[in-house]
């Protein structure tokens, strides 16, 4: 199953991708995670990307297209994958079509997770991440049992630089201007399915499951 998880920052793409990945045994490919790994390791790509990420802007298309091209030819993608955070521009979507066509594959579904803006701000500003294993928490909706410590591995939790209020605003604007037009793009291709992302994590996942099981 080749899935795109689409939606604004904070909609729950990473959270739902983890559920899908565990239940359907396909890899979760998050371009945000790949970029943050590069930033952490101080690679050339990471140093270049960081400038854009810190401002809440998109990293240039050619960088992302290169990343996705390399990732989708890995053998673990043979039985499908979940793309989280890619594509984010029409240009990236066109490039994805071409990459998939060359591999003899195509997208099965684009799940568009819908959450109103004020809820997105609440979700993003309360998000905390484990510096060791990457597990995702929310101060109010899914707090760790010990303050600042990961339940899974005991690692320290941190707040992403771009989850600070000023950058959140810019990211939502970037989404509305550059990424939201993809909704029409995929609607036209007849593979877009809207998912109400406002419920509990389990309830949103049940909606996604019923879509995937009927593909
Ligand atoms: P995205 O990958 O779309 O940016 P995340 O999956 O990281 O979004 O979720 C953003 C924040 O909201 C995280 O702190 C996460 O724990 C929380 N969250 C995700 N889904 C829900 C939900 N259904 N209800 C409440 N909080 C949620
Ligand atoms: P979100 O919580 O907004 O879904 P991500 O972790 O997906 O955040 O992305 C974080 C940042 O990484 C984005 O604000 C952007 O700067 C960069 N980024 C991630 N994916 C892409 C992409 N496909 N195209 C351009 N920039 C990207
Ligand atoms: Zn952890």
Residue 123 annotated in active site: no
Residue 88 annotated in active site: yes
**Residue reference for tokens 């993003």:** 124
Q: Which domain holds residue 100?
A: 2-116+166-213
- Whether 67 maps to a domain, the answer reads yes
pTM value is 0.97
Tell me how crowded residue 66 is: count the other CB atoms within 10 A of its CB: 12
> pLDDT tens digit string along 113-130?
999 999 999 999 999 999
- Whether 151 maps to a domain, the answer reads no
- Whether 202 maps to a domain, the answer reads yes
Nearest CA to ligand 2 atom 12: 32
- Whether 37 maps to a domain, the answer reads yes
- Whether 136 maps to a domain, the answer reads no
Q: How many separate domains does the chain show? A: 1
- CATH number of the domain that residue 25 is part of: 3.40.50.300
- Whether 123 maps to a domain, the answer reads no
Please state the rounded mean pLDDT for residues 11-15. 98
> pLDDT tens digit string along 167-193?
999 999 999 999 999 999 999 999 999
With the most atoms of ligand 2 within 8 angstroms of its CB, the residue from 13, 32, 55 to mutate is 32
- Whether 82 maps to a domain, the answer reads yes
């Amino acid at each position: 199953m080749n899935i795109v998880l689409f939606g604004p920052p904070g909609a729950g793409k990473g959270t739902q991708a983890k559920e899908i990945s565990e239940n359907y045994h396909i890899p979760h490919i998050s371009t945000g995670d790949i970029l943050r790994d590069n930033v952490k390791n101080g690679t050339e790509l990471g140093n270049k990307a960081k400038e854009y990420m810190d401002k809440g802007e998109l990293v240039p298309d050619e960088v992302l297209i290169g990343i996705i091209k390399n990732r989708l030819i890995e053998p673990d993608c043979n039985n499908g994958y979940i793309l989280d955070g890619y594509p984010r521009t029409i240009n990236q979507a066109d490039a994805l079509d071409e990459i998939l066509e060359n591999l003899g594959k195509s997208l099965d579904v684009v799940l568009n997770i819908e959450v109103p803006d004020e809820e997105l701000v609440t979700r993003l500003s309360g998000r905390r991440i484990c510096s060791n294993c990457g597990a995702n928490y929310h101060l109010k909706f899914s707090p760790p049992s010990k303050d600042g410590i990961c339940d899974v591995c005991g690692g320290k939790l941190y707040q992403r630089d771009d989850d600070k209020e000023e950058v959140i605003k810019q990211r939502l604007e970037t989404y509305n201007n550059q990424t939201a037009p993809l909704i029409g793009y995929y609607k036209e291709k007849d593979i877009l399915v809207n998912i109400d992302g406002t419920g509990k994590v389990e309830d949103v996942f049940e909606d996604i499951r019923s879509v995937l099981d009927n593909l």
